[in-house]
Structure 1
Amino acid sequence: MDRVDLLPPPTDTAVARRADAYAAAPLLNCLLREVAEALPETGERRVYRLPGGRLLSVLGERRPAEPEVSTADGWRRVGHTELVKLVAEELARHTGLSNHELPAEMIDSRDAVAALLTARARAAAPGARYLRSEQCLVTGHPYHPAPKARGGGPVAAWLPYAPEAHARFPLVLLGLREDCLVEEGDTSALDALGEAPPGYRLLPAHPWQLDLVGCAEAFDDGRLIRLGTTGFEAWPTAAIRTVYVPERDLFLKFSLDVRITNDIRRLWRHDLLKLRRTDEAVAKAFAESPGSAAWLSDRGYRTADFAFEELAVLVRDGLRGRVLPGATPLLAAALVEGFEGSPLDSTERPTAWWEGYLGAVVPPVLAAFGDHGVVLEAHLQNTLVAVDADGTPVQALFRDAEGVKLLPDVRRAAGWERLVYCLVVNHLCEVAAALAERHPGFDPWPAARRELARHDLPEAAALLTAPTLPGKTNLLLRWTGADGADARYLPLPNPLAGT
């Protein structure tokens, strides 16, 4: 595989400065969206009033930078450590609650970014554009207070498995005694990864997860045996615990007992037990809908009855035969973050590009909801957009049955709210902003309005006149200790209604 040339290693000072900037942007986005009041614009810097009355100014809007606080002596620059302290004070005042865990996560996230920047400068990026897109997210979620936190563990424990550091590694192969095996769906791809002795079945494991959970007793009594590692390497994707094996065109998703963004990333029993029903409903919706959109099916899972969640592995469809001939799939989140080879960097006709993007992404999501009662979690990390040789979007591919909701398991209104947050706020708003940033004066919302108006769906029509959109409050969710799946929203101005 061709490699991208290595950059000169940055200095410690340069890394610290860049890490501060990377970590401050999403934290500021959360603070300014969730608890601050924007004051009238008076210049290059935007000024906000915080709950305690303090004034905070930032440079830029999509990725705020260089925060300053107002003092009796004028504006004073705030570094990342002081910003964390300021956020904690304002949230305690705003909510009446204290939280010692989240500030530590914010610092951990910033320190992780510093480690990633250092590692990236010394690592060879993958030559394939798809893999580069999966491994480019140094900022990560642009509206999370600690998007790169890795559970507070030592860097040496997680860095070898970090997609942002261009990691690739063999998987651990375990033999699981047959009387302990639990599986559902099509897991035949796992048996092709190696050879298990009589009485055992192959169970691949993520090496980081195996370090976390151990399972010493099962190794001692023979329920598990070590069979070495795979003869090929797996590439971690943006999801970290999901890897892609290009040689086998196979995605595998593992449990990972580490908090990443809002959740401990374990394959939970309740999600696994409903996996087949959910995946089959989505696959049926895509099969019966017109167009070229594709669903990467979660075919099945395999695990051990004594470590059902801890050692679970999920088998997901690969890309071959699902991506249109001649097209290149790219992670949607990478278009927002930016990476070498991004089509946004060479787009000369933003309107045509954006219309192609909307035409690929929006119809399958609305059809799944309106015709089949399927609520796709079509956010930036769950969506791949395939582009043709000119970089024009021609197809969307969606993944992750774990995040899908089905009607009437959830109320229609709640399902639609979730869909709008994932598709419009988390996804389209971010890609639109990244495109407009490269093409000053470009207005993405008339085309988005036209695309939504084409669909005979009452909720879509109402969306065009709704004054607000639902914005997820990740900062307040984490500060108040809410369950990661317990989404709460605040109203954001709807750019569709203003077009």
Structure 2
Amino acid sequence: MHRPSAAEADFAEELAVLRPDLVARYTAELPGARAAVLSRLWRGLAHEPLPWVTGREAGREGLALRLWDGRRLHGPHPDPFATAAHTTVVQLDEVAHDDPARLMSALGVPHGADFAAELADSVASLALSRAGQPAGPQAWPVRDWEWEQRVVDGHPYHPNCRSRPGFSVAEQLAYGPEHRPLVRLGLVPVPADECLVTGAWPAHLRDGERVLLPVHPWQSEHVLKRLVTEGVEAHPLMSLRTLALPDGQHVKTALSTRLTSSVRDISVYSISMSAPLSRFAETVGERMDGLLHFTRTLGAVTANSPDLAAVLRESPQVYGERVLPVAALATTELPESPAWLAEFARLSLTVGLRLLEFGIALEAHGQNLLVVLSESGAPVRLVYRDLADIRISPARLARHGIPVPALSGRLVTDDVTTLRRKLFGSLVAGALAGTAGSAAALRGALETAVRQLPRTPDLAALLEQPLPAKALTWMRLSPGTPGDRWTQLPNPLA
């Protein structure tokens, strides 16, 4: 019998007090959660340039990894684009491991102990997320936040798909979108002359000479250490820190804890860039023949601190009633149709490659990218939100006669590798692969889609070179290295 990890046992104890009705289902979900996280971890071990993996040998019965200390790690042939939990056991020499956290501890690699704790938390949180889901088929959502809350398993490829360190079980139930809570945001008054405000901060979030800054309750308690009594109720979206307000607008709040890979605060830099970036995106959107809309940033404010800031955006639903995040497509039957998947790939690549040719590389993963469906379910156009991580090439913009915006810092680069990595890693290795769910399905969709695309140098790179993807496991095992690390996945079109 599997011995529960400390995280699994702690979750069960808290749940027995808070929600005893969920304990049995939580326990039943744990084996599947372990397999889901182990599958993501094995993908990273198999495909990322980890310095302590000295060789890889593919055989008829699976893949073997040679480690720097002479040991061998053996598991199934990994499909880098699979989303199902296909790995239930990985063998380290003679010992079989079905628990990703214990496997990482047994590997004994640098920074592995901290990562093992994150993996254990990811398993327990994922089991909790699955345990709280309603039984039976769900009705087609009407409101945007209902779509967001259907995404239960988190990132399709990150081993920390549900890792929420610093969140108790009570806080996960109270704030996690998959648990469908109503969250009361605090409104912290800050003198306007002490804030950086860009865009038009609305009157209902002002009090005389003070700005009322929406703050997540977790942030209030754990980071700001203050009790906030005034507030507004909102529905949490997929990213947890972004919520849908009663008037339909979305607010991104600072949440200074590590979720998946990153600490979710809001930098002063991103606040300062938000207004010109939003105006620039509107201008570029006019060149997209109605195939793409950017959600407008209405206002952004920071009290000169990444821990106390907020961004107000319009809802993607203003661009269509049937609009949903790409990550939520997996909760529908649409991707099961090869024809539908190919049409969605054609639309996504048309938009992404045209923008890349103009000089804009989107971070088009399944959370930022949304699709508008017709009444029959056909993908008709895309919506993109959250411009904070796109990349912009002044040289490409100038080549196409597009005015270069007054932007600076990490947003701006002419490096071709950086631009292509940004788009291909998020769109093809992320949104499209996660929707397809396997290398075979992704290959079929891309083969059909690319026949209809203009042959540009960027498309040639996509067709002929290995597919870039973020090295998610390597990044978590490199805590002292800032920024993204990358790997190369087998090109599904090769």
Residue pair 1:473, 1:489 contacting (<8 A) in 2 also: yes
Q: List per-residue Cα deviations over 1:242-291 (Å, max 9, x = no partner).
A: 1123x412111011011012211100112222222332222221122223
Task: Name 1:418's counterpart in structure 2.
Answer: 422
Residue pair 1:235, 1:244 contacting (<8 A) in 2 also: yes
Task: Name 1:208's counterpart in structure 2.
Answer: 218
Amino acid at match of 2:446: W
Q: List per-residue Cα deviations over 1:58-97 (Å, max 9, x = no partner).
A: 487423221142766xxx64221xx3233345472xxxx3
Matches within 5 A, 1:196-275: 196=207, 198-214=208-224, 216=226, 226=228, 228-230=230-232, 233-245=233-245, 247-275=246-274
Matches within 5 A, 1:99-118: 99-118=112-131
Amino acid at match of 1:328: R
Task: Name 1:66's counterpart in structure 2.
Answer: 88
Task: Name 1:288's counterpart in structure 2.
Answer: 287
In terms of mean alpha carbon deviation, does 47-56 or 404-413 score higher? 47-56
Q: List per-residue Cα deviations over 1:411-458 (Å, max 9, x = no partner).
A: 331212222111211222232335966x9xx8223113224xx23532
Residue 100 and residue 265 in structure 1: after superposition, are their counterparts in 2 closer, same or farther (change >3 A)?
same
Task: Name 1:364's counterpart in structure 2.
Answer: 351
Could you say what secondary structure the match of 1:419 adopts? helix
Matches within 5 A, 1:151-162: 151-162=165-176
Alignment root-mean-square deviation, CA: 3.0
Query: Per-residue deviation at 1:227?
Result: 5.6
The TM-score, its normalising length taken from structure 2, stands at 0.81
Residue pair 1:386, 1:395 contacting (<8 A) in 2 also: yes
Residue 100 and residue 152 in structure 1: after superposition, are their counterparts in 2 closer, same or farther (change >3 A)?
farther
Task: Name 2:12's counterpart in structure 1.
Answer: none
Task: Name 1:405's counterpart in structure 2.
Answer: 391
Task: Name 1:142's counterpart in structure 2.
Answer: 156
Is residue 343 of structure 1 aligned with residue 334 of structure 2?
yes
Residue pair 2:63, 2:77 contacting (<8 A) in 1 also: no
Residue pair 2:255, 2:265 contacting (<8 A) in 1 also: yes
Paired residues in the alignment total 443
Residue 70 and residue 480 in structure 1: after superposition, are their counterparts in 2 closer, same or farther (change >3 A)?
closer
Could you say what secondary structure the match of 1:248 adopts? coil
Could you say what secondary structure the match of 1:380 adopts? coil
Task: Give the Cα–Cα distance (whole angstroms) in 1 for the partners of residues 318 and 26 of structure 2.
Answer: 45
Could you say what secondary structure the match of 1:39 adopts? strand
Could you say what secondary structure the match of 1:272 adopts? helix
Task: Name 2:183's counterpart in structure 1.
Answer: 169
Amino acid at match of 1:209: Q
Could you say what secondary structure the match of 2:479 adopts? coil
Task: Name 2:404's counterpart in structure 1.
Answer: none
Task: Name 2:464's counterpart in structure 1.
Answer: 465
Amino acid at match of 1:316: R
Residue pair 2:149, 2:178 contacting (<8 A) in 1 also: yes
Could you say what secondary structure the match of 1:167 adopts? coil
Could you say what secondary structure the match of 1:257 adopts? strand
Could you say what secondary structure the match of 1:381 adopts? coil
Matches within 5 A, 1:325-340: 328-335=322-329, 338-339=330-331
Task: Give the Cα–Cα distance (whole angstroms) in 2 for the partners of residues 260 and 362 of structure 1.
Answer: 29
Query: Per-residue deviation at 1:459?
Result: 1.8
Amino acid at match of 1:361: S
Which runs of no fewer than 5 residues in structure 2 stay unpaired? 1-20, 395-411
Residue pair 1:250, 1:317 contacting (<8 A) in 2 also: yes
Residue pair 2:345, 2:449 contacting (<8 A) in 1 also: yes
Amino acid at match of 2:390: V
In terms of mean alpha carbon deviation, does 258-267 or 165-174 score higher? 165-174
Query: Per-residue deviation at 1:475?
Result: 0.8
Task: Name 2:98's counterpart in structure 1.
Answer: 79
Task: Give the Cα–Cα distance (whole angstroms) in 2 for the partners of residues 98 and 227 of structure 1.
Answer: 41
In terms of mean alpha carbon deviation, does 126-135 or 157-166 score higher? 126-135
Task: Name 1:192's counterpart in structure 2.
Answer: 204
Residue pair 1:124, 1:166 contacting (<8 A) in 2 also: no
Query: Per-residue deviation at 1:463?
Result: 2.4
Task: Give the Cα–Cα distance (whole angstroms) in 2 for the partners of residues 494 and 91 of structure 1.
Answer: 32
The TM-score, its normalising length taken from structure 1, stands at 0.80
Could you say what secondary structure the match of 2:352 adopts? helix
Task: Name 2:370's counterpart in structure 1.
Answer: 384
Amino acid at match of 1:423: L
Task: Name 2:399's counterpart in structure 1.
Answer: none
Structure 1: which 4+ aligned runs deviate by more than 6 Å? 122-127
Residue 379 and residue 488 in structure 1: after superposition, are their counterparts in 2 closer, same or farther (change >3 A)?
same
Could you say what secondary structure the match of 2:238 adopts? coil
Could you say what secondary structure the match of 2:324 adopts? strand
The counterpart of 1:24, out of the listed 38, 51, 55, is 38
Task: Name 1:446's counterpart in structure 2.
Answer: 447
Could you say what secondary structure the match of 2:89 adopts? strand
Sequence identity of aligned pairs in percent? 24
Query: Per-residue deviation at 1:384?
Result: 0.6
